[in-house]
Structure 1
Amino acid sequence: MAFTAVLPPSSVSLLLSSILFLAVLIALLRRRRPLTTTHLRGPKSINIFGVLRVILAAKDHGLLFETWERKHGAVFQLPGLFGRKEVVLCDPKAIAHFYLKDTYTYRQTPVNRFAFEHFFGRNLLWAEADVHKRQRKVLSSAFSNAAIRIQTPVFFDSAHKLTASWDQTLQSVSSSDGVVIDVQQWMSRVSLDSIGIAGFSYDFGSLSGRSAQVVAAFETFGSSTRHIITDLAILLAPIFPWLIKLPGPRKTALENLATVISQIATDLLKDAKKDSEYGAASAGSDKSIMGALGPSRLRKCRRKRSWLRL
């Protein structure tokens, strides 16, 4: 007597999905070619995810990597997903060499480029090789030695504002009570205000305690809670970059941050164009990066339009 086992549709779908996943995984692993490189020390792999789960669970990522640096040296490797290896550089000379050869010799990983394009578009962070070279050429006038020398007082001014805020905080409490200052948070404020003034002639006022939309977006992104979907996307994204599109708290916070930054940059660019086109008195006195780039780009656009009319 013959017996026939009938599986429910859900079990069949799960079985087929598992077989398909294993087939894709085996194909990807077979495509990997072993490379002969310098053997580097590093933490041992815990499971198929390497040490990615340890990094995700760490409260202070900087402290975790400093611990690994002290134990394994200034250049070490981290085990990643399914046996992948990631090299971490903590040596200044190695980092300088990396950035010197950046976008030509050393390329970004597919997941990094996918994430930059998805959240911020095809900008300077996404570009590589000749495309990156052309974009850097556009920005070269704003980052010359003379332009950087003009922006130096901006960073000194931010440092003075920082010390004034700390002095005020220390004076507001008694000597016996003491006070805890979150230096990392204050450094983020220094960076934000300095970039705003030097880049766009716009003071976000985060050092002064002013409430700004972009500050709130940064804080929301930094304090967003972990979610199982987000962790899953981060763990599997090196092989399946499209998982970055999965919804989650950090994805929502990052999209909100990108929207806020894009809106502010668009408004500031419109103001810079308006000042340059109408010959505003402030156009010549604007020494920011936007002020340096705006007139030159507008002159090129005008020359192009004149040539088209001819």
Structure 2
Amino acid sequence: MIEATTWLHGLTLSLSKLASVVATLAILRVLLWLFNILVLLPPFDPLKSLPGPDGGYFQSYINEAMNPNVSPDTHESWVKEHGRTFRFNGFGKFDYRLLSFDFRIVSHVLTSPTYEKPWQTRSFLSRLIGRGIFSMEGQVHKIQRKIISPAFSSQALKHMTPVMYQKAQELRERWLKILSSSATSRSTTEPEKTGDTIIDVSHWISRASFDVIGLAGFNYNFHALGEESEPVYMAYRRMFAIADRGLNFRGLLDLYAPWLRILWPGRDNTVIDESLKIIDRAGRKLVANKKAEITNENCCAQEKSDKDLLSLLMKSNMSSDPSKRLTDQELLEQCSTFLLAGSDSTSVAISWALHFLSLDAAIQDRLREELNSLSVSIDKANDGPPSSRFPVTSLPNTRPMFSAYSLEEDWDRLDSLPFLDAVVRETLRFSPPVHSTIRVAMKDDYIPISHPIKLQDGTLLQKGDHVAIRKGSYIHIPIEGLNYSEELWGSDVRTFNPDRWFNLPPQVRPPAHPGIGNLMTFSFGPHACLGNKFSTTEMKIFLATLLTNFIFAPAPDTEIQKGNSILTRPFIKDKWELGTQLPLTVHKIHSDN
């Protein structure tokens, strides 16, 4: 007994010494890493020679560069003082980062395989939406993109427009009922206010857009517009409500020490884990059922009419080289990517469009007039009143629904409306859903420049020269900043002005401007947004449906500001704790208006 006790005591001491040694080595490694980062490397960083804002050794300018409420002023002042290309402090002077408004630099960074999304960004996105096309790099990303691209062809998109019309009309009906109920309840006490009410448009459009991607993406109806109770929809909402608060200190700890989530999960991680389990179970069932349908179709030579993204993706995947096919898990993770990109980013863009239109009645009336004129021309072309392939019940005393556009062939007419197109483009310029993006150099590199850079020692780099970048350096791509550049867009760059799209300056036309649709909003290069046309199509259909039935005005005594996490969302000033909100005064258009 005594010998056993002695042996256990000796073992305990040995384990204690081993733990002490391991802890000491870990601490030494962290100290060495900090010494390398803070002391050894900074003097040799080539970005040190570039112009840029000064500050203390640990002073950070990340908020100034990435907070959409201050970044336009910051970018403007930095460009005026330092030129189009400069460096700024990330977490301090030991963390110089490159920021450029030179398209030659931006193009090089976004198209070269030398630059990738930082592992922190990919880890954060992978945690929420899996290893989909947004969070992968290199050959894996290339294979995923090749397989996914056919699902976003123009023809495939055209087959999805009926779903967008259906949900836009369903949203219209829900709002008409809200306005009717509100008017009835106030008619006896406030008869002068029976025509309008306050609606949080961002909340409702988010629900409608989630339904759109459910049907267009997977032929699955979340019924989010009906009742907010569907498990997968609610799981996403809970998860992204946490993500929208931004990456706090605990979030940073989880990135660098993911094992903490197991030992000390905390409330947020528990909610995210539970949400991911719900999404994973539903996704696996969805993928399995869809695969069975497609397999049965191939075996039985049945003709299927499935045009949803998942069906197209799976068919494309099956026809690819077997060595380059996506696994079921990868297909599942693409579904999560579709849900984020196809619902949240588009709903945010539609919400901002209604916000900007509410602030300018003249622009709103002009767009409504264009939409109504097209509705009349389609009615005449169809030789009768508009019809809809969707069974929707109209409410009394309202303008006829915008259902004449619900046929696929009418989409081309709507898409060709010049002012609607200008409003959509100006919205995406003025408030891109993604404020900015970051890349990291995977090896030392030299980036060519197009505009002069005056270095700290007075040396002038000219067009054709290069900026040296060391491995591990971060490059910020100012998506909104380039959309707000006065040098590119003119002195009225901070004015919501759709008319600018009828006479663009030469510097924002191809080939001078490399972005999709003369914008940086959808980026360009290997990581350009595949769903750009899907997003603009949904925007046009929803704006057409809503503006021909409602008038929008700002909510009284309410100031809307931007909040930037994964996406740039609307918030009520000084009420951030309430989450994303965009209350607008909504007025019903009567048939005699």
What's the TM-score once normalised by structure 1's chain length? 0.68
Contact 1:233 1:243 (C-alpha < 8 Å) held by counterparts: no
**Secondary structure at the residue paired with 1:207?**
coil
State the AA in 2 paired with 1:294: M
Correspondence for 1:31 among 27, 41, 49: 41
Cα 1:176/1:119, change in 2 over 3 Å: closer
Could you tell me whether the CA contact under 8 Å between 1:49 and 1:82 is conserved in 2? yes
Q: Is the 8 A contact 1:48 1:81 kept in 2?
A: yes
Query: Separation in 2 of the partners of 1:75 and 1:26?
Result: 30
Mark the CA change 1:206 to 1:45 in structure 2 (over 3 Å): closer, same or farther.
farther
User: How much has 1:100 moved relative to structure 2?
Assistant: 9.2
1:162 corresponds to 2:171: yes
Partner Cα distance (1:38, 1:78) in 2: 9
**Counterpart in 2 of 1:278?**
296
> Higher helix proportion, which one?
1
**Counterpart code for 1:285:** S
Say whether the 8 Å CA contact 1:154–1:194 is kept in structure 2: yes
Say whether 1:149 aligns with 2:173: no
**Structure 1 residues 34 and 299, CA, compared in 2 at 3 Å: closer, same or farther?**
closer
1:3 maps to what in 2?
none
Distance 1:160 1:226, change over 3 A: closer
Shift of 1:158: 2.5
1:221 equivalent among 239, 244, 251: 239
Task: Quote the Cα distance in structure 1 between the aligned partners of 2:30 and 2:302.
Answer: 60
Q: Secondary structure at the match of 1:184?
A: helix
Alignment partner, residue 140 of structure 2: 131
- Going from structure 1 to structure 2, the CA distance change for 1:268 and 1:225 (only over 3 Å counts) comes to closer
What is the alpha-carbon distance in structure 2 between the residues aligned to residue 299 and residue 181 of structure 1? 47
Contact 1:114/1:241 (<8 A) preserved: no
Measured at CA, do residues 66 and 283 of structure 1 come closer, stay the same or move farther in structure 2, by a change above 3 Å? Answer: farther
Which amino acid is 1:110 matched to? W
Distance 1:71 1:100, change over 3 A: closer
- Determine the structure 2 residue equivalent to 1:231: 248
- Answering whether residue 207 of structure 2 is matched by residue 192 of structure 1, we say no
Offset from partner CA, 1:278-299 (integer Å, 9 cap, x none):
2389861111011212234345
Distance 1:162 1:48, change over 3 A: farther
Q: Deviations over 1:265-289 (max 9, x none)?
A: 2111111111122238986111101
User: Which of the numbers 72, 75, 80 marks the counterpart of 2:75?
Assistant: 72
Measure how far apart 1:106 and its partner are: 3.5
| CA-CA distance at 1:204 after TM superposition | 0.7
1:1-310 alignment runs, 5 A limit? 21-29=30-38, 30-32=40-42, 33-36=44-47, 39=51, 48=58, 50=60, 64-73=67-76, 79-83=89-93, 84=95, 101=110, 104-174=113-183, 176=193, 179-224=197-242, 231-235=248-252, 241-242=256-257, 245-246=260-261, 247-279=265-297, 284-298=304-318
State the distance in 1 between where 2:69 and 2:168 align: 26
Show CA shifts across 1:128-172 (max 9, x none): 122211111111221112112222232233222222222222221
SS of the residue aligned with 1:285? coil
Name which structure has the greater RCO, CA cutoff 8 Å, separation 6+.
2
Identity of aligned residues (%): 23
Kindly provide the CA deviation profile for residues 175-232 of structure 1, in whole angstroms up to 9, marking residues without a partner as x. 64864322222232233111111110011111122511122213323444999xx732
Separation (CA, whole Å) in 2 of partners of 1:191 and 1:255: 24
Residues 49-106 of structure 1 show CA distances to partners (whole Å, capped at 9, x for unaligned) of 7367x79xxxxxx9x51333245339988754344356789x9x97xx6699367353
Instruction: Tell me how far apart the structure 2 counterparts of residues 112 and 276 of structure 1 sit (CA, whole Å).
Output: 35
SS in 1 for 2:60: coil
* Alpha-carbon separation, structure 2, partners of 1:262 and 1:67: 38
Displacement of 1:251: 2.5
Letter in 1 for 2:152: F
What is the alpha-carbon distance in structure 1 between the residues aligned to residue 307 and residue 242 of structure 2?
36
Structure 1 residue ranges without an equivalent (≥5): 1-11, 56-61, 305-310
Partners in 1 of 2:239 and 2:154 — Cα distance? Answer: 34
| Paired residues of 1:236 and 1:243 also in contact (CA < 8 A) | yes
What SS does the corresponding residue of 1:66 show, helix, strand or coil?
coil
Q: Unaligned 5+ residue runs, structure 2?
A: 1-19, 80-86, 184-191, 325-593
Cα distance in 1 for partners of 2:135, 2:267 equals 23
Instruction: State the distance in 1 between where 2:323 and 2:243 align.
Output: 51
Name the SS of the counterpart of 2:163 in structure 1: helix
**Which range is displaced more, 67-76 or 210-219?**
67-76
1:307 is aligned to: none
Are the counterparts in 1 of residues 52 and 88 from structure 2 also a CA contact under 8 Å?
no
Structure 1's 233 and 194: CA in aligned 2 closer, same or farther, altered over 3 A? same
Cα distance in structure 1, aligned partners of 2:238 and 2:267: 10
Q: Distance in 2 between matches of 1:154 and 1:205?
A: 13
CA, structure 1 residues 186+67, in 2 after alignment: closer, same or farther (shift >3 Å)? Answer: farther
After superposing the two structures, state which structure 1 stretch, 162-171 or 134-143, moved more.
162-171
CA contact (8 A) 2:113 2:138 kept: yes
Give yes or no for contact 1:225–1:250 (8 Å, CA) kept in 2: no
The equivalent of 1:7 in structure 2 is: none
On the 8 A contact 2:60/2:89 being kept in 1, the answer is yes
How many residues are matched? 274
Deviates further, 17-26 or 197-206: 17-26
